[in-house]
Homo-oligomer: A and B are copies of this chain.
C-alpha cells in the first residue's frame, strides 16, 4: 500500500508522520525548527528518518505534504510570509522536492489541521466540516466535499478575522471586534484576569494570581463562583455567535473545536449546540453538529499527508 509523509512546521518544532490512506500510522518524528533555509534541512532529516526507521521501501512513499505557519501560496508551493519562521517568498515545496525526489504540496498549518481532522479525526464520517482552533488566535480550516477550501491564492478561510462586534475589542489584524479578539484562549485569559481583578473575593484567587490565570481557570471555578461563571458565560456567547455565523455561511455537517480551550469538551459543546440549534438559519432543515477535535497536535501532520492522497 502507498504511504504518505505529513510534515507540520510550527514555530518551535517540526513534526512528521508517515501514514497510509486509511490513516494507519507507520512512524512519527520531530526536530527543533531552524531558521530560514534550515527549515528545508529539518524536513529532509525527518523524511529520511521516517522512511528508514519504519523500514519501508522509499518507492512506497508517494508524496510529502507540508503544513506551515504563515501565508502560504499553495499553487506555487511557496511560503509568502511567515514572521515566526523568518521566511519570505520561500519556495519550500520545491526545495524539499529537490532533496527527496518525491512530489510535495504545501498548505498553511490551520488548513492542514482541518484536513487531518476531516479525514481521520472528528470529521471522518462527514464530507463537509469546519475546524475552528481556539488557541493564541482563532484559526480555521474548511473542508467541502472532502477537499480543502483555501480561497483565491490560498488567502481565504481567515475565520478569526470576521468582525462579530463592530467597533469592539482591538484585534492583532488591525480591525476591531474580530471573532479572534473574543474567542481565542488569549481573549479568555484576558477576560479571566479582568474578572479576578474586579472581584477580590472571587474563588479563582484560590488557585492562582491574576498573573498566572490560564484558559482553564474560569471553567474550573464556574460551578462555585459567580465571577468565574460570568467569564464562561461571556466566552461562550461570543464563541457561539461566531460559530453560528460560520454555520450559516458554510453549513457544514459538523464544526470541530480544537486548540487549548477545546479541552473543556462538553462544558463548551453542550451550551454552544443549544445556541446553534436555536439561532441557525433554517436549522431544522440542515442542522450542524458541534464537537471537539480528536487528533490533538497530530492533526497537522496527518492533514499534511492527506494533501497527497488522491481520492
Q: Chain B nearest CB: distance from A60 CB in Å? A: 32
The chain B residue with its CB closest to the CB of A71 is B282
Q: Are B157 and A128 closer than 8 Å at their CB atoms?
A: no
Q: Within residues 80 to 124 of chain A, which ones have a CB less than 8 A from any CB in chain B? A: 80-81
A182: nearest chain-B partner, CB-CB: B166
The answer on a CB contact under 8 Å between B166 and A164 is yes
A161–B282 alpha-carbon span in the complex (Å) = 11
Quick one: CB contact mask for A142-173 with B, threshold 8 Å, 1 for yes? 00100001011101111101111111100001
Q: How many copies of this chain sit in the oligomeric assembly?
A: 2
Contacting residue for A282 out of B155, B241, B251, B286, CB 8 A: B155
For residue A253, CB closer than 8 A to chain B, the reply is yes
Interface residues, chain A, with chain B CB atoms under 8 Å away: 71, 80-81, 127-128, 144, 149, 151-153, 155-159, 161-168, 173-175, 237-238, 241, 244-245, 248-253, 278-279, 281-282, 285-286
- Which 10 pairs, one residue from A and one from B, show the smallest C-beta to C-beta distance? A151-B251, A156-B251, A155-B286, A153-B286, A158-B248, A155-B251, A162-B245, A128-B152, A161-B248, A165-B166
> Are the CB atoms of B162 and A249 closer together than 8 Å?
yes
> Could you tell me if A158 and B285 are in contact, using CB atoms closer than 8 angstroms?
no
Could you list 23 A-B pairs, sorted by A, with CB under 8 Å? A127-B152, A128-B151, A128-B152, A151-B249, A151-B250, A152-B253, A153-B251, A155-B281, A155-B285, A156-B249, A156-B251, A158-B282, A159-B248, A161-B245, A162-B162, A162-B245, A162-B249, A163-B164, A163-B241, A164-B164, A165-B167, A166-B241, A173-B281
